[in-house]
Amino acid sequence: MKFTPTVLTEEEERLRDDVREFLAAELPPDFRPGLGMGAGANREFSKKLAARGWLGMAVPKEYGGQARTAVDRFIVTEELLSRGAPLGAHFVADRQTAPTIMKFGTEEQRRYFVPKITAGELAFSLGMSEPDSGSDLSSVRTAGTKVEGGWLLNGTKVWTSGAHQNDYFAVLCRTSPFDGDRHNGLSQLIVDLRAEGVTVNPIPFLDGGHHFNEVVLKDVFVPDDRVLGELGSGWMQVTSELAYERSGPDRFLSTFGLLKYFLAEHEPSSLSSEQQRVVGQITARYWTIRQLSLSIARTIDEGGAPAIEAALVKDIGTKFEQQTIALIRDVVDIELDPHQGSMFELLLAEATLSGPSFTLRGGTTEVLRSVASKGLAK
């Protein structure tokens, strides 16, 4: 396991300045920031990012992308998250679906889906987790039955972020009988979330917020040309896909707004020694985890495949997000109300109610530590 220290080049710093200037112009003074990937969805905002060339940054130009670097995408993502910008309409498709289709999809799928994703016109969810399966993706019970011209899909997916707003999701399902190895016989199908037989039910947060969903699939017809990759290669594809989502700034910046607005609403001279200690502790850890995450992006650009390092950053980053909530709550004396209060108080209430989900998405703490430990043992 290796993390090589790195810094932004002058050109990369100019990109960061451009994004900051764009956000200052696009987000009004009364903008209500969100927490990380739960910051809400705004398709017009996503289309404006696309128009600036900030979606599909690593996608080849012939498919509507920019053929830029993982570090460039890191920079754009970091700035969006630190402002709490509404990135929900494009985030999963940009981070994960477009690279997966580029790697495993047919040429027809690349030509149809990827340019629409890079233009901010199509939004995707992920169809992996199922009821009573925890993070064991290989235990999926959703199954496709072969029929003329395609597949009939039946099953249920849960914790499906944004399914009530998005257009498609890539469903991991069983397409051939169990042969003793749960990893065999799995495939991915691209499913229209508005197709006949698809029912999306909300899984609300404690404060009533809506981000996760249960998606019930009942005899949903999926044409043959919506099979993503090779039949039976679903397990290999989703484990490869997970590497895209585990090491980025979205794994440690979800609660950055708490620190930002705590400092904005409190004069430095008014902070107690305990509050100063917490601010210093959180700040130091932000810089450390950011360096680890940036190092992975740089390694990817140099041709590396730091899957083990990415699992470690995801584990450290999401646990840190939860620890930030606890540390700040310990040094403030306020009654949390998700519906009223200052911006800091609203974000703290939201974080307290939604924070437990941070370590679930993208693989639980137990799964990630297992991945990291196996890598360290080699």
Beta bridge partners of 87: 41
* Ranges for all domains in the chain classified under CATH 1.10.540.10: 10-122
- The CATH code of the domain at 125-233 is 2.40.110.10
Contact present, 343 and 33 (Cβ < 8 Å): yes
Q: Is 141 left (phi over 0), alpha (psi -120 to 50) or beta?
A: alpha
169, 297, 285, 211: which is closest to 35 by C-alpha? 211
Name every residue whose Cβ is closer than 8 Å to that of residue 249 and which is 6 or more positions away in sequence.
Answer: 74, 77, 78, 81, 290, 293
* Ranges for all domains in the chain classified under CATH 1.20.140.10: 245-377
Tokens of 347: 């974000």
- The CATH code of the domain at 245-377 is 1.20.140.10
Contact present, 336 and 352 (Cβ < 8 Å): yes
Tokens of 46: 């996503």
Buried b (16+ CB within 10 A) or exposed e, 166-189: bbbbbbbbbbeeeeeeeebbbbbb
* Torsion angles phi and psi, residue 156, rounded to 5: -140, 135
Inter-CA distances, 50 with 55, 58, 61, 62, 99, Å: 5, 13, 13, 15, 16
115, 25, 107, 132: which is closest to 66 by C-alpha? 115
Tokens 């993070």 belong to which residue?
A: 135
- The CATH code of the domain at 10-122 is 1.10.540.10
Name every residue whose Cβ is closer than 8 Å to that of residue 277 and which is 6 or more positions away in sequence.
Answer: none
* Ranges for all domains in the chain classified under CATH 2.40.110.10: 125-233
Contact present, 240 and 356 (Cβ < 8 Å): no
Q: For residues 73 and 57, give the distance between their C-alpha atoms in angstroms, rounded to a whole number.
A: 6
Inter-CA distances, 96 with 18, 121, 146, 184, Å: 24, 16, 27, 23
Q: What is the pLDDT of residue 317?
A: 93
pLDDT by 10-residue block (mean), the chain, 378 residues: 90 98 93 88 96 94 94 96 95 92 95 97 92 73 96 95 94 89 91 98 84 95 96 86 74 94 94 97 97 92 82 90 96 91 95 84 72 74
Q: What is the pLDDT of residue 241?
A: 66
Residue 92 burial (CB count, 10 A): 24
Q: What is the pLDDT of residue 134?
A: 60
